[in-house]
Amino acid sequence: MENKTVVSIETVIDYIEANLDGKMDLETVAEVVHYSKYHLHRIFTSTVGMTIHDYVLRCQLTEAAKLLVFSDRPIIEVAFICGYESQ
């Protein structure tokens, strides 16, 4: 059971990191691993140490920071790429 949980969490993390540019809700992410959103929330939080929402926000912020430092894209474009609605 433990190994399956780790694989599921890895799948969730891969999905989140591949889809940072759009709105993401718990129900959509739960469908990826075929868990209820309540169960996914519990196992993700206990495994990763933060909620899915907090993880998504942290990933968006990290990706935005990387793009701002290492690319010549305008701030507004970086914001849209990383899922923000404004600069």
Is 42 domain-assigned?
yes
CATH number of the domain residue 8 falls in: 1.10.10.60
Is 87 domain-assigned?
no
Is 25 domain-assigned?
yes
Q: What is the domain extent for residue 14?
A: 2-81
71 backbone φψ class: left, alpha, beta (φ>0; ψ -120 to 50): beta
Classified as helix, coil or strand, 74 is: coil
Quick: pLDDT tens for 49-76: 999 999 999 998 999 999 999 999 999 9
CA–CA distance, 31 with 51 (Å, rounded to integer): 17
Is 86 domain-assigned?
no
Is 67 domain-assigned?
yes
Task: Enter the pTM of the model.
Answer: 0.83
CA–CA distance, 68 with 64 (Å, rounded to integer): 6
Total domains, the chain: 1
Distances (CA, A) of 62 to 20, 56, 57, 65, 69: 11, 10, 9, 5, 11
Q: What is the pLDDT averaged over residues 11-25?
A: 87
